[in-house]
Chain A
Amino acid sequence: MNDDVRAELAAIVARHGDDATRLVQMLRDVQDALHWIPPLAIDELAERLGLPRARIEGVAGFYAFLHTDAPCRYRVLFSDNITDRMQGNQELMAYLCERLWVEPGRVSEDGLVCVDTTSCTGLCDQGPGLLVNGWAIPRASRAVLDRIADLIVAGQPVAQWPADLFVIDDNIRRSDMLLGHDLMPGDALRAALTRGAGVDAEAPANERSWREANVHAAPGPLATLEEIKRSNLRGRGGAGFTTGLKWEACRNAPATPRYVVCNADEGEPGTFKDRVLLTRQADLVFEGMTVCAYVIGARHGLLYLRGEYRHLLRPLQAVLARRRAANLLGTGILGVKGFDFDIDLHLGAGAYVCGEESALIESLEGKRGIPRNRPPYPVTHGYLQKPTTVNNVETFCAAALIARHGGDWYRAVGTAKSAGTKLLSVSGDCARPGIYEYPFGVTVRQVLADCGAEDTLAVQISGPSGVCIAGDEFDRRIAFEDLATAGAFMVFDRSRDLFEVARNFAHFFAHESCGFCTPCRVGTSMLKATMDKIAAGQGTQYDLAEIEQLDRVLHQSAHCGLGHTACNPTLDTLKRFRPTFERRLKSLDFVPAFDLDGALAAARRMTGRDDAGAHLSAELER
């Protein structure tokens, strides 16, 4: 048994070239092969990689899809975004647990199965979503769960399960310049390579290598950078930093080598546009990365794919292979001497915070995904402390289009400060959930009309870290000037309880806090506890004041955006829908969260009692 583990580990480490920066990938492989990460595997990795075992244990303990507790052949994780809840995931999870005779969150005694929840898996347009050993299954229903339960009990490996269980729809409802483009692979690169020919070559700096000098001497990179700048393209991950300035800063950073990183870790609940882009537009994504490499002088690219999208890994590898064969990747791309670039895929392992660019870089280096202190920024000190350009999937797609058609073509669409189009991931209470591409400036009302939303109470824009808007704000526009968004657009109609929406988001942030800084580690858990206290009917005015205090502390002192925004959905809801909170409050100044009767629950379970004598009545408590 131990020898088997050692042999498996030797193969895994060898497959990743004994490279400690690939530790997260190795741990993923261990999880797949052994159904958990046993202490022996950590010892072996420590030995083979020359790392302290405690550090490897720390990395394994950070990611939600790496399990060090117990082996489990089938891990069934129900996506637990609010949209999954609205589609009945809780009732379905209880049904599956009952069918398999297991308790939620606990591995069955025989190590066969474990049923639990996970953060949004990006299937909101066809939920409830599921992951079985990391493989995504959409549209969970009792019928689907019956089939899954039978397959699990029969011990059928997931790789052999019927393919129809795993069919994921793209649901593209509206296309514009991006989704409707007519570029063939290589078109954008050819345009970039020919642009600016005849412009005076930039003199290479003395200290730069021959290769550097070669790339920088070519007129193309600067001419293409000029088009990216002229386009006013801004990052599509939500923050909206100007892409041209980022590329320029990275290009001008003196250190080498430089890296291009594509952030495909879309973890924001309610977002799934990258899933569709990587399914339908993988060539455009890789082409955008290659254009970026050409502009900044990089020869190595990395795409960080969120763990929930592991089903896309093999198709993406196939696209990369095809592009290498077509000389769109590799050495001497399209016959240009010195233009060498290739892309590696890196699969995440369940950590929302890795969508923050510096945490993503830490994870790429095989570490815990903790956001770094900034400055210095990734453009000068990124991957392996080298200049790195990190952009969103959608940003690279847009960059490829701009390389082909030019900046003026792109900026002609959209608004003054928001050029181009934006992909929205529409889900929730509407007839036609899916992907909608609009020019920037579209009103919320227009989107609601197009997706067939009726009787809408509120829309959560850009996920839990964005804003929740009510009916009187539906004329607001999707644009950096007004509602900046990474793309999530969750619709709630009048049958929904927005307190429960906010409570779901509070749980999300507590689960996804990396735990590095005090305010976020403790504050998000306090917010979750307070929301649960209010939900249990124990809330008072004091608790509402405490939420406001937590919000202040998180905004003042959290280490990264996750903490800064963790209270936003709660406060937005409190501001716009205060009655839904107040309805639940006791009309007292203070009620302790400690519940005497609740404290007896474990004793009741152990003794199998639930009679009146096993409860403390409310009178007794006073």
Chain B
Amino acid sequence: MSDTFLLDGEEVPFAPGQSVLQAALAAGRYIPHLCYHPEFKPHGSCKVCTVRIGRRTAASCTLPAQAGLEVESDCDEMNDLRRTLVQMLFAEGNHFCPSCEKSGNCMLQALGADLGVLTAGFRHFFPNRPVDASHPDILLDFNRCILCELCVRASCEVDEKCVFALSGRGIDKHLVVNAASGRLADTDIALSDKAVEVCPVGVILKKRVGFATPIGERRYDRRPISAQALDDAPRTAQNASVRE
């Protein structure tokens, strides 16, 4: 592989078809991100992975890697932006980390901690989002939804069920389930579905297993998300050697 681009001044190799974020993660370089998941095609909605390329900015998860690109990511301007975007997500939904089962396993919380977000910084929206506890094994708590669409994509592309979709628009955009009643119990979702495990926050929760792992010993309690994301990223042998 000969093609490379510059990320914060250091060369990053890439394979054809990779985006800047994918190439960076594969090479052991972290760019903060939220709606991106290595198993799904990037769609670039959260904008947390935004980077600067000369005079313009772009979401690095959907930005095709090109030879000679000069990408700035770990700079005050981009990190300020990311903090603000995370704050916006906290203000938009109803997030109460201390009482959330996902605390410690939550990407939004972990990203906030990593970026040094201490408050929401904006006025909270306090939206009215009833929970759906209809399903015997799975709870839906829409209060925490960040509209990343990962469950939508997983349910359609992996489970081939399309249990989830998005409706509404603007600030009224919301998750819906594939049932005329609007209740999860009336869908064909199963505990083993990819859609159940893919939620980065605490919307889709398995019932009766809450707090099995104590807070303090969870995924992002052990390692910050910036380190954990690199462990999760698919690597090529060559990329791994670049890191060493």
Contacts and interface: CB of A to CB of B under 8 A. Distances in A.
A521 B147 contact: yes
Interface stretch (B95-103, B159-167, B217-225): B159-167
Given A373-B43, A516-B45, A553-B85, A58 B167 contact: yes
Contact of B89 (A522, A524, A525, A526): A522
A53 to B, nearest CB: 6
B122 to A, nearest CB: 6
Contacts of A522: 88-89, 91-92, 171
B50 A557 contact: yes
B177 interface: yes
Interface string B7-39: 000000000000000000000000000000000
Q: Which of A40, A351, A552 has the most CB of B within 10 A?
A: A552
Contacts of B48: 518
Contacts of B85: 518-519, 553, 557
A515 B127 CA distance: 15
Interface string A500-528: 00000000001111111111011111100
Given A510-B171, A521-B147, A373 B166 contact: no
Q: Which of A40, A54, A513, A557 has the most CB of B within 10 A?
A: A54
Interface string A14-47: 0000000000000000000000000110110000
B125 interface: yes
A267 to B, nearest CB: 14
Interface in A131-170: none
A58 B45 contact: no
A514 B46 contact: no
Contacts of B147: 515, 521
Given A556-B50, A557-B59, A53 B178 contact: yes
A62 interface: yes
Contacts of A62: 167-169
A593 interface: yes
Interface in A345-382: 351, 368, 373, 375
Interface string A540-578: 000000100100110011110000000000000000000
Q: Which of B62, B77, B169, B179 has the most CB of A within 10 A?
A: B169
Contact of A43 (B43, B44, B146, B180): B180
Contacts of A375: 64
Interface string B92-132: 10000000000000000000000000000011010000000
Nearest to B187: A54
B57 interface: yes
A549 B84 contact: yes
Interface residues of B, number: 42
A49 interface: no
B81 interface: yes
B169 A57 contact: no
A526 B45 contact: no
Contacts of B156: 52
Contact of A54 (B59, B91, B164): B164
Contacts of A517: 44-47
Contact of B46 (A373, A518, A526): A518
B216 interface: no
B57 A515 contact: no
A529 interface: yes
A238 interface: no
A549 B168 CA distance: 27
B173 interface: yes
B81 to A, nearest CB: 5
B162 A515 contact: no
Contacts of A351: 169
B169 A557 contact: no
B157 to A, nearest CB: 12
A494 interface: no
A556 to B, nearest CB: 5
Contact of B123 (A52, A519, A529, A559): A529
A368 B179 CA distance: 19
A604 interface: no
B64 to A, nearest CB: 7
A233 B166 CA distance: 40
A553 B44 contact: no
Contacts of A511: 170
B165 A513 contact: no
A586 interface: no
A88 interface: no
Nearest to B161: A52
B92 A54 contact: no
B106 to A, nearest CB: 16
B69 interface: no
A359 B46 CA distance: 18
Nearest to A59: B167
A57 B167 contact: yes
B170 A61 contact: no
A490 interface: no
A52 B162 contact: yes
B95 to A, nearest CB: 13
Contact of A513 (B46, B91, B162, B170): B170
A592 B77 CA distance: 28
A525 B171 contact: yes
Contact of A512 (B91, B170, B178): B170
A322 interface: no
B165 A58 contact: yes
Interface string B50-93: 10000001010010100000000000010001001100110110
B244 interface: no
A55 interface: yes
Contacts of A524: 170-171
B115 to A, nearest CB: 14
Given A53-B178, A58-B176, A553-B85, A559 B45 contact: yes
A303 to B, nearest CB: 24
Contacts of B64: 375
Given A556-B57, A559-B45, A513 B169 contact: yes
A556 B81 contact: yes
A222 B27 CA distance: 47
Contacts of B47: 517-519, 557-559
Contacts of A39: 180
A529 B147 CA distance: 21
Contacts of B173: 515, 521
B123 A525 contact: no
B178 A521 contact: no
Contact of A553 (B62, B81, B123, B180): B81
A467 interface: no
Contacts of A40: 180
A249 B147 CA distance: 35
B165 to A, nearest CB: 4
A164 B143 CA distance: 50
B44 A518 contact: no
A52 B155 CA distance: 11
A242 B89 CA distance: 39
6 contacts: A39-B180, A61-B176, A368-B166, A517-B44, A517-B46, A518-B89
Given A42-B180, A54-B167, 8 more contacts: A52-B156, A55-B165, A61-B167, A61-B176, A513-B171, A519-B88, A522-B91, A553-B81
Going nearest first, the 4 A-B pairs with the smallest beta carbon separation are A61-B167, A515-B173, A54-B165, A52-B162
Interface of A: 39-40, 42-43, 52-55, 57-58, 60-62, 351, 368, 373, 375, 510-519, 521-526, 529, 546, 549, 552-553, 556-559, 592-594
